[in-house]
């Protein structure tokens, strides 16, 4: 402790002020440029993810031989999550915004997960045929990564 006091006495006050100021500025700069990962932000309007998958399946599945018109329903466990980059500066927390070439802005996404699919039901013309059931189950399982026991195929009612 005595050595520190002696060192501080030996440094001219003007230089000591410059050193302390430089250290302070460096600390402020370092803390303001490091984006921190924070709690995920759940974006609920993105729940149409399931509806989008249903529409895509309703378009492609009838292309399989012996399959007629289909209706698809997908259930999900959650909404999925989007984790946005946050910047903590001057006691405030702000989302990191990226400027796009066209003049728009987007938040910087650190991580994005999609909803967990619980099950799929398909009502298909030709759905009583075992071969059609197998082909539809394999197609949906391959596309969505859902286990076969979570996919149910039924004969579609003719209207």
Q: Which band of pLDDT confidence, cut at 50, 70 and 90, is reported for residue 83? A: confident
CB atoms inside a 10 Å sphere around CB 126: 21
Could you identify the residue written with the tokens 């600390």? Answer: 27
- CA-based nearest residue to 85, from 35, 34, 32: 35
- 129 Cβ partners below 8 Å, 6+ apart? 66
Q: What percent of the chain has pLDDT over 70?
A: 62
Output the average pLDDT for the chain: 78
Domain boundaries, the chain: 2-33, 40-81+113-155
Strand-pair category, 70-76 with 117-124:
antiparallel
pLDDT single digits (tens) 54-73: 999 999 999 998 899 999 99
For 84-111, give the DSSP string.
EEEEEETTEEEE-EEE-TTS-EEEPEEE
Question: In the predicted model, what is the mean pLDDT of residues 91-115?
Answer: 67
Q: From start to end of the chain, where are the E strands?
A: 36-37, 70-76, 81-89, 92-95, 97-99, 105-107, 109-113, 117-124, 151-155
What is 40-81+113-155's CATH number?
3.30.300.30
Threshold 0.85, pTM exceeds: no
Q: What is the pLDDT of residues 20-47, one digit of tens each?
A: 777 778 777 676 665 555 555 555 544 5
């Amino acid at each position: 402790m005595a050595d520190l006091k002696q060192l501080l006495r030996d440094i001219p006050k003007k230089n000591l002020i410059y050193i302390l100021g430089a250290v302070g500025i460096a600390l402020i700069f370092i803390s303001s440029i490091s984006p921190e990962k924070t709690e995920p932000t759940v974006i609920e309007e993105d729940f149409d993810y399931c509806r989008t998958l249903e529409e895509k399946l309703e378009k492609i599945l009838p292309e399989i031989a012996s399959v007629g018109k289909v209706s698809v329903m997908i259930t999900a466990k959650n909404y999925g999550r989007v984790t946005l980059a946050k910047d903590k500066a001057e006691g405030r927390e702000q989302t990191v915004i990226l400027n796009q070439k066209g003049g728009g802005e987007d938040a910087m996404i650190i991580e994005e997960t999609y909803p967990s699919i619980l099950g799929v039901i398909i009502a298909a013309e030709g759905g009583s045929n075992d071969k059609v059931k197998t082909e539809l189950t394999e197609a949906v399982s391959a596309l969505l990564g859902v286990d076969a026991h979570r996919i149910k195929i039924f004969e579609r009612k003719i209207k």
